[in-house]
Amino acid sequence: MSSGFKEPITIIEAIRENVKIFEQNWTKIRESIVAAFTLFYRLGFNDTTFRAKNAAIPIIYYIYYNDLEKEVVKVNYDSNERKNISKWLVLSFLKSIFGGQPDSALITIRKKLKASIGTKSFPSSTIKSAFATDPSRNYTFDNEFIYGLLESQKDTSDAFYVLTLLQPNLDYYNQDFHQDHLHPASVFYDEKKMKSFIPESDWAFASNKKNWNSVLNLQLLNGTLNSKKNDQPLDLWASENKIGKKELYVKDTTSLKIQDFKLFITDRKECLKEKLYEVIK
């Protein structure tokens, strides 16, 4: 009978020891948690777009074991490292790395984080490589998946993720960014108005939300600037604000006029696909 009680007692003792360690280090643990969520906010995430709360655990672990709890909250914290963490989070959300039962994923990630302690560089590449052969959790993006992402609708989390990848240099600190239609949505809400601008042969294409209300026709724009832009035609807005076609992810030969909407979207779709492949490497 006595042997039957040894294992439970051992487990209880182990729990007590872990609780003791937790209590002794609570101040730093708390600071690391607060620092992580401060960083998420400054990267533009909110309760909706931070899709999987378990994704916070690796970042907290990384901050704690690299003594970064006071560094990552600074406004001038390493911009490349901010982009690195943001990109890893976005790719993880898009590929549902923390979906279902995330325990095995967290264990895999913890091993890579533990091996990188002291480098003060989040090991996003080695983490992604660790999932390369996992059929249910991996960071592989094929054409079909990317084209689906490009059709993500305005104000959805997926649209935010893709636009974040496309515009990695945005500074979210104390700024409100909107998902803005490049060609004004007002043209497409009103069928009569749409038909007055768009050639008849392109009416079906232009009226499809997958084209005018998706990432294909969106950008992230500072809220104040978005209010000023309002329903201004894209070609005039780009000209007045000296926005180049490269910034809009279209070719130099692509027209920005509303009557050429179909050509604009068709061209931008391919340019965005190529850019995403470049970004997610």
Q: Quick one: pLDDT band at residue 3, thresholds 50, 70, 90?
A: very low
List the beta bridge partners of residue 181: 218
Q: Which CA distances in Å does 152 have to 81, 90, 134, 269?
A: 27, 14, 26, 12
Q: Which of 208, 201, 260 is nearest to 235 (CA)?
A: 260
Q: DSSP code of 152?
A: P
Gap between the Cα atoms of 56 and 45, Å rounded: 12
Answer with the residue of higher pLDDT: 277 or 11.
277
pLDDT at 2 over 80: no
For the segment 134-167, what is each residue's pLDDT rounded down to a tens digit? 988 999 999 999 999 999 999 999 999 999 999 9
What residue ranges do the domains of the chain occupy? Answer: 2-130, 143-279
Tokens for 29, please give them.
């643990």
d(CA 91, CA 81): 15
Mean pLDDT of the chain: 92
- Which residues, other chains included, contact 11 with Cβ-Cβ below 8 Å and sequence gap of 6+? none
What's the pTM value of the predicted model, to 2 decimals?
0.90
Tell whether the model's pLDDT for residue 120 goes beyond 60.
yes
Cα separations in angstroms, 83 against 114, 164, 212: 21, 10, 29
On the question of pLDDT at 4 being above 70, the answer is: no
